[in-house]
Amino acid sequence: MEKKLFTLKEANALLPALKEDLLKLQQLTEQFEQRLLEYQRTKAHRPQAFRPGADNADPFFEMESKLEFMRMENDLLIGNFSRKGVQLKMIQPGLIDFPAMLNGEEILICWKEGEEAATHYHGLHDGFIGRKLFPEEEE
**pLDDT tens by residue, 72-122:** 999 999 999 999 999 999 999 999 999 999 999 999 999 999 999 999 999
Tell me 53's DSSP state. S
Question: Do the domain assignments include residue 118?
Answer: yes
Which pLDDT belongs to residue 104? 93
Domain range spanning residue 14? 8-137
Instruction: Round to whole Å and give the CA distance between 71 and 35.
Output: 11
Which pLDDT belongs to residue 3? 83
**Is the whole model's pTM more than 0.85, yes or no?**
no
**Among 46-60, 71-85, 125-139, which is the least confidently predicted range?**
46-60
Question: DSSP E strands: which ranges in 33-134?
Answer: 87-90, 95-102, 105-112, 120-123, 132-133
Question: Do the domain assignments include residue 2?
Answer: no
Domain count across the chain: 1
Question: Do the domain assignments include residue 68?
Answer: yes
